[in-house]
Chains A and B, each alone.
Chain A
Amino acid sequence: MTDTGIVNISSFNKLKKSKNIKIKAIIKNLSVFYSDKCAVDNVSMNINAREVTAMIGPSGCGKSTFIRCLNRMNDVIENCTVKGSILIDGYDIYHPKIDVVKLRSQIGMVFQKPNPFPKSIYDNVAYGPRLHGIATKKNDLDNIVEESLTKAGLFKEVKDRLNDTAIGLSGGQQQRLCIARTISISPSIILMDEPCSALDPIATAVIEELIENLKKSYTILIVTHNMQQAARVSEKTAFFHLGKLIEFGDTKTIFTNPREKQTLGYITGRYG
């Protein structure tokens, strides 16, 4: 494949070769502005495939804005401008020829507050496959729903009440339903924006276990306020402060031997 504006395979492969690892996404000089306010300031980093990358940092540091850039959810916010480039599997996702709607079907997102649709459990999971025409026959759809719910570790709990409304589920179950909904259309990246912040510790543990399983097949980016969680689930950790990427590296290194003073200050709880 040759280089065009939209596909930038050669530089992608070069980088892949030089680092000799499975790179999923390359973020280069990314800046995000809300009107004049700079929310993300010149961030560059590489995301590895089939790994969990955690974003930590104090509130308002731009980590949520950052991951929302990867499926272009910031597009729906008025006055939000994005500069720099993001290559995912070699595709420049901010190229004008990119179909945002199709992009979002390949980069799933789980939100901070569980947001199931006020429909039945079945319809929640089946919505994506129906929308994209992945499954048209009832049988195929049933299989996808079951598979997604099983992967999200929810199937056993809800298999007898798939037609009940999703609103009746507990918070943790709702969040797992949202994860099932996300993986029902087999995305290649899953973005998680503080998925456990509205959940109790037990539900959190269930979700963390789920993330552990999911990373075998998906690339996961997770924003979290909980540093133990970042330490538990992630391979790589990025520390943001005031829109800047202060430090990015292996989770172990970040938590045991950070390079920057600010990182040390944050992970030891001195500010945030």
Chain B
Amino acid sequence: MSSTINQDIASSISSARINKEKRFQIYGVAALLFAMIMLVTLFITIFSKGLSAFIQTKVNLDIELTQEVIDPEGSRDLNVLKQANYQKLIDDSLKLYALNLFDKDEKELIKNLRMILSPIAYLELRNLVIDNQDFIGKTKKVSFIASDDIDQYFKGKIDMSIPEDDRKITDIQEKFLDDLQSKGQINKVFNKTLFTKSDSREAELSGVLGAVIGSFYSLLIAGLLSIPIGIGAAIYLQEFAKKNRITDFIEININNLAAVPSIVFGLLGLAIFLNMFLMPRSAPLVGGMVLALMTLPKIIIPARAAILAVPESIKQGALALGASHMQSIMHHVLPLAMPAILTGIIIGLAQALGETAPLLMIGMIAFIPDTPLYITDPATALPVQIFMWADNPERAFVERTSAAIIILLFFLIAMNSIAIYLRQKFERKW
């Protein structure tokens, strides 16, 4: 027998095998590319539609705050100031601007012109006057929120080539607005309303604040309930429970719960929390409790894995020093398992933040223009708000839907980044 290497190794570089490997690599790259393209498309659509919602069109008008209209007796009484006819002041100003442009009969003209401002323009003016009473009698430049159609017009989203009857902007409005713009009376500012107001029938006055607070309260309740219960259950199952049929049964059930569709949890909440315990409908308290049920298995499973991953030797070291079982867990096992547990918690809560279905079942889908103050106030949540806005036909709600998605994505990405950061910072160190 010769001791040299078999000549096969030089000659038999199997082209079939190499091709197979290459093909497999190509499949992998293709799959990755496809996924990336989908993701990029998603982001491009959302951002191209939604970014413009962060900008708001304002119409600046010089308003003559005449003493006769606001406070004819000069008493500066708050009730008088509140009840004054501010709409007349705005109308007068609009008429002044329109003076040289139109010769139509006045009634239809002023109706047309009023529409360029939001329906609460007179309230904006009223609040300004009440806050600054020395303005009375002077002419001031006042900045009004433009109505949603005007906003869309200035964002170039309204097709002016279609017949006047089919579009939202009349010819009168177009002429008037173009004139205002040429005078520099139109400007675009950051859309504060989106963040400081809650839902509204008027797109230009609607914001996500109520939904964000509703989501925050729900998540707070979900976290307060599911984190201690989840960690406690994980510690008990992993460290104290005897291995028998009952614990096996519990374990199988927890794993199954993680796969139960979320709407089922919503039905459970409806049947038990609302119908049996008569808790308030549409409240973040109940929403949070339902989300907590949904999050529990998602916390317990990774927490158990994290506790299991702590080496037995460290626990034994503590036991041998005279630490009790509980002390060895609290002083050593839990601190070492905490980063992984935290990751599980954050990912579980991030999922809960994006959850819509269970909240629909307990009535958190409702038009709620008020910002919730307490956890029992009716509220909605960010994903539900997106769902509701997507249902609205107005153009302005389309961009607001995308904007709300961007805000939700921002929260989700932030939470997941924290999870990744924690995971990397506290990499296992034994």
Residues of A within 8 A of B (CB): 71, 73, 76, 78, 101-106, 108-109, 111, 113, 115-118, 127-128, 131-132, 165, 167, 178, 181-182, 185
Contact = CB atoms under 8 A, between A and B. Distances in A.
Contacts of A73: 316, 319-320
B324 interface: yes
Given A182-B320, A182-B321, 11 more contacts: A78-B242, A101-B323, A109-B320, A115-B311, A117-B314, A118-B430, A127-B318, A127-B321, A128-B322, A131-B323, A185-B321
A118 B321 contact: no
Contacts of B332: 117
Interface in B403-430: 429-430
Interface string B291-330: 0000000000000000000010110111111111101000
Contacts of B316: 73, 76, 111, 115
B395 interface: no
A113 B316 CA distance: 11
B429 A128 contact: no
Contacts, number: 64
A111 B317 contact: yes
A208 B336 CA distance: 32
Given A78-B242, A167-B430, A117 B317 contact: yes
Nearest to B332: A117
Given A73-B316, A118-B314, A127-B331, A165 B322 contact: no
B243 A78 contact: yes
A185 B320 CA distance: 11
Interface in B322-375: 322-325, 327, 331-332, 336
Closest 6 CB pairs of A and B: A105-B322, A115-B313, A109-B320, A115-B317, A104-B322, A128-B321
B315 to A, nearest CB: 8
21 contacts: A71-B320, A73-B320, A76-B325, A78-B243, A104-B320, A104-B322, A105-B322, A108-B321, A111-B313, A111-B320, A115-B311, A115-B314, A115-B316, A117-B314, A117-B317, A118-B336, A131-B321, A131-B322, A131-B331, A167-B429, A182-B321
Nearest to B325: A76
Contacts of B336: 118
B318 A117 contact: yes
Interface of B: 242-243, 311, 313-314, 316-325, 327, 331-332, 336, 429-430
Contacts of B318: 117, 127
Contacts of B322: 101-106, 128, 131-132, 185
Contact of A101 (B314, B317, B324, B331): B324
A42 to B, nearest CB: 26
Contacts of A76: 316, 319, 325
Contacts of B317: 111, 115-117, 178, 181
Q: Which of B322, B327, B332, B336 has the most CB of A within 10 A?
A: B322
A265 B325 CA distance: 42
Contacts of A116: 317
A16 to B, nearest CB: 27
A78 B313 CA distance: 16
B135 to A, nearest CB: 65
A105 B318 CA distance: 10
Contacts of A165: 429
Nearest to B313: A115
Contacts of B319: 73, 76, 104
A101 B326 CA distance: 11
A78 B324 CA distance: 17
Nearest to B327: A131
A129 to B, nearest CB: 10
B55 to A, nearest CB: 51
A181 B242 contact: no
B335 to A, nearest CB: 9
Q: Which of B321, B323, B325 has the most CB of A within 10 A?
A: B321
B98 to A, nearest CB: 77
Contacts of B321: 104-105, 108, 127-128, 131, 181-182, 185
Q: Which of A78, A116, A117, A178 has the most CB of B within 10 A?
A: A117
A182 B317 CA distance: 9
Contacts of B311: 115
Contacts of B325: 76
A259 B211 CA distance: 85
A238 to B, nearest CB: 21
Contacts of B313: 111, 113, 115
A72 to B, nearest CB: 10
Contacts of A178: 317
B333 to A, nearest CB: 11
A118 B430 CA distance: 6
Contacts of A101: 322-324
A8 B200 CA distance: 84
Contacts of B430: 118, 167
Nearest to B324: A101
Nearest to B326: A101
Contacts of A104: 319-322
Contacts of B314: 115, 117-118
Nearest to A105: B322
B246 to A, nearest CB: 15
B308 to A, nearest CB: 15
A104 B311 CA distance: 20
Nearest to A127: B321
Contacts of B331: 127, 131
Contacts of A105: 321-322
A109 B383 CA distance: 56
A111 B429 CA distance: 19
A182 B318 CA distance: 10
Contacts of A127: 318, 321, 331
A57 B338 CA distance: 41
A106 B323 CA distance: 12
B239 to A, nearest CB: 10
Contacts of B242: 78
Contacts of B320: 71, 73, 104, 108-109, 111, 182
A78 B314 CA distance: 18
A145 to B, nearest CB: 14
A118 B327 CA distance: 16
A128 B331 CA distance: 12
